[in-house]
């Protein structure tokens, strides 16, 4: 399969699940656009690769080895939407693998300001770089750019680092990696209850993670939000189609004792139709407080893609179940694994020294 051999209309006519195989090259991950392109086997393999890289990186010799893997490659970060963690963790991941970096974060300093189309900009980047990692407020832009590049003379991979309100697949990968690590001594993610809280209508991290959780057996997904921020019917239809159990409720506190993982999110007011309209939504009942720690099961984990506002009280940070800082660091390792997989380095990583695991 290859995106370069299919027309745009025919590609658009495919379901997201069917688009997945088109995004591979030579049986390997190439463009990373949406969560649907990952199955259980690829999630397990990426998690193992991230852990391996994490262990290799512990020594100077290991770090030197990692930095030799892709020192002949260059990555472009094209981030036209604000970002701290995703941007920096991708930079760090590229640097760990030895890649050189370029960036455009502000289109007022690039030729887009002069009226250049996204297509022409991305084709320009592909002339100088071997990988384009992009974040945009335009839903579907990464997908379109991947198709454009696959039909150009320099088909370099595109990684979607957040597109519109739609998808954030690499955040979902780091969330899965965090869950894999959190539950590794308790039968893994299968059979767990994951409670999503907050702005579920517009949170792209939730949308992507909800897809990946369908790859596990018997996971129950609970969606807790005030009515205006309720989870989209398309996500529920996706869960129905996958035969997954879910629950939609406006009541947060009764869910806390039932959770294996709680995934808090902030109000995504940058998507307000009318500026400031979200300020009228009462979200005070959708915050996790220090008192809530008493109701949280002893081995449950509290997650957040960050940045947070008032959804999690800072006093909660010191509790071992608050894993959001670890989750953030996991992002760097899973992004290393993803880039290594795209460039076919998994074999070399597997053969390196006698690093465990």
Nearer to ligand NCD, 70 or 306 (CB): 306
Identify whether the C-beta of residue 303 lies closer than 8 Å to the C-beta of residue 326. no
Known catalytic residue: 310? no
Cα(303)–Cα(179) distance, rounded to whole angstroms?
9
Given 60, 109, 114, 275, the catalytic residue: 114
Identify whether the C-beta of residue 295 lies closer than 8 Å to the C-beta of residue 256. yes
Cα(214)–Cα(69) distance, rounded to whole angstroms?
33
Does the footprint of ligand NCD cover residue 205 (CB under 6 A)? yes
**Count of residues near ligand NCD by CB under 6 A:** 13
Window 106-165: residues binding ligand NCD (CB under 6 A): 162
Residue whose entry in the numeric block shows the structure tokens 């690769």:
49
Q: Where are the beta strands (DSSP E) in 37-188?
A: 74-79, 100-104, 131-136, 158-163
Among 48, 85, 151, 258, the residue binding ligand NCD under the rule CB under 6 A is 85
Does the footprint of ligand NCD cover residue 171 (CB under 6 A)? yes
Known catalytic residue: 54? no
Cα(11)–Cα(33) distance, rounded to whole angstroms?
13
- Burial state string for 21-39 with b = 16 or more CB within 10 A and e = fewer than 16: ebbebeeebbbbbbbbbbe
Known catalytic residue: 304? no
**Residue 85 Cβ vs ligand NCD, minimum distance, rounded to whole Å:** 5
3-state secondary structure (DSSP) of residue 224: strand
Strand bridging mode 24-25 / 28-29: antiparallel
Identify whether the C-beta of residue 340 lies closer than 8 Å to the C-beta of residue 49. yes
Residue whose entry in the numeric block shows the structure tokens 């290799």:
56
Known catalytic residue: 114? yes
**Residue 99 Cβ vs ligand NCD, minimum distance, rounded to whole Å:** 21
Among 97, 158, 305, 345, the residue binding ligand NCD under the rule CB under 6 A is 305
Cα(86)–Cα(174) distance, rounded to whole angstroms?
10
Does the footprint of ligand NCD cover residue 31 (CB under 6 A)? no
**Residue 193 Cβ vs ligand NCD, minimum distance, rounded to whole Å:** 22
Given 31, 73, 144, 168, the catalytic residue: 168
Cα(100)–Cα(70) distance, rounded to whole angstroms?
9
The binding track of 263-302 with respect to ligand NCD, each residue x by CB under 6 A or -, is: --xx-x----------------------------------
Among 168, 192, 202, 215, the residue binding ligand NCD under the rule CB under 6 A is 168
- Alpha-carbon separation of residue 230 from 177, 189, 224 (angstroms): 26, 25, 7
**Residue 242 Cβ vs ligand NCD, minimum distance, rounded to whole Å:** 23
Given 40, 48, 74, 85, the catalytic residue: 85
Given 52, 73, 135, 266, the catalytic residue: 135
Identify whether the C-beta of residue 213 lies closer than 8 Å to the C-beta of residue 194. yes
The residue sitting closest to ligand NCD, measured at its beta carbon, is 305
Known catalytic residue: 135? yes
Does the footprint of ligand NCD cover residue 306 (CB under 6 A)? yes
Does the footprint of ligand NCD cover residue 204 (CB under 6 A)? yes
State the residues that interact with ligand NCD by CB under 6 A. 85-86, 162, 168, 171, 204-205, 265-266, 268, 305-307
The residues annotated with a catalytic role in the active site are 85-86, 114, 135, 168
């Amino acid at each position: 399969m290859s995106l370069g051999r299919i027309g745009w209309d025919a590609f658009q006519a495919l379901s997201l699940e069917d688009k997945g195989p088109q995004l591979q090259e030579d049986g390997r991950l190439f463009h990373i656009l949406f969560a649907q392109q990952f199955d259980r086997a690829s999630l397990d393999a990426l998690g193992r690769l991230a852990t391996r890289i994490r262990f290799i990186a512990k020594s100077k010799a290991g770090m030197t080895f990692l930095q030799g893997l892709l020192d002949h490659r260059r990555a472009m970060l094209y981030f036209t939407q604000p970002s701290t963690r995703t941007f920096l963790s991708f930079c760090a991941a590229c640097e760990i693998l030895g890649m050189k970096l370029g960036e455009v974060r502000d289109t007022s300093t690039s030729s887009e300001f002069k009226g250049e189309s996204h297509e022409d900009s991305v084709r320009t980047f592909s002339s100088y770089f071997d990988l384009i990692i992009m974040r945009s407020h335009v839903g579907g832009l990464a997908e379109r750019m991947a198709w454009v590049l696959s039909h150009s003379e320099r088909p370099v991979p595109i990684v979607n680092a957040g597109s519109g309100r739609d998808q954030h697949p690499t955040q979902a990968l780091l969330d899965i990696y965090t869950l894999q690590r959190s539950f590794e001594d308790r039968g893994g993610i299968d059979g767990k209850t994951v409670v999503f809280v907050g702005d579920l209508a517009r949170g792209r991290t939730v949308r992507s993670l909800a897809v990946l959780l369908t790859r596990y057996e018997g996971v129950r997904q609970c969606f807790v939000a005030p009515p205006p921020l309720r989870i989209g019917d398309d996500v529920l239809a996706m869960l129905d189609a996958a035969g997954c159990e879910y629950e939609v409720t406006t009541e947060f506190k009764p869910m806390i004792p039932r959770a294996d993982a709680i995934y808090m999110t902030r109000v995504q007011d940058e998507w307000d139709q009318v500026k400031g309209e979200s300020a009228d939504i009462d979200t005070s009942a959708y915050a996790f407080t220090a008192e809530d720690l008493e109701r949280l099961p002893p081995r449950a984990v509290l997650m957040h893609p960050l940045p947070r506002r008032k959804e999690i009280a800072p006093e909660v940070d010191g509790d071992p179940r608050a894993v959001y800082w670890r989750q953030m660091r996991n992002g760097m390792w899973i992004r290393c694994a993803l880039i290594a997989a795209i460039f076919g380095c998994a074999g070399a990583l597997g053969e390196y020294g006698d690093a465990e695991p």
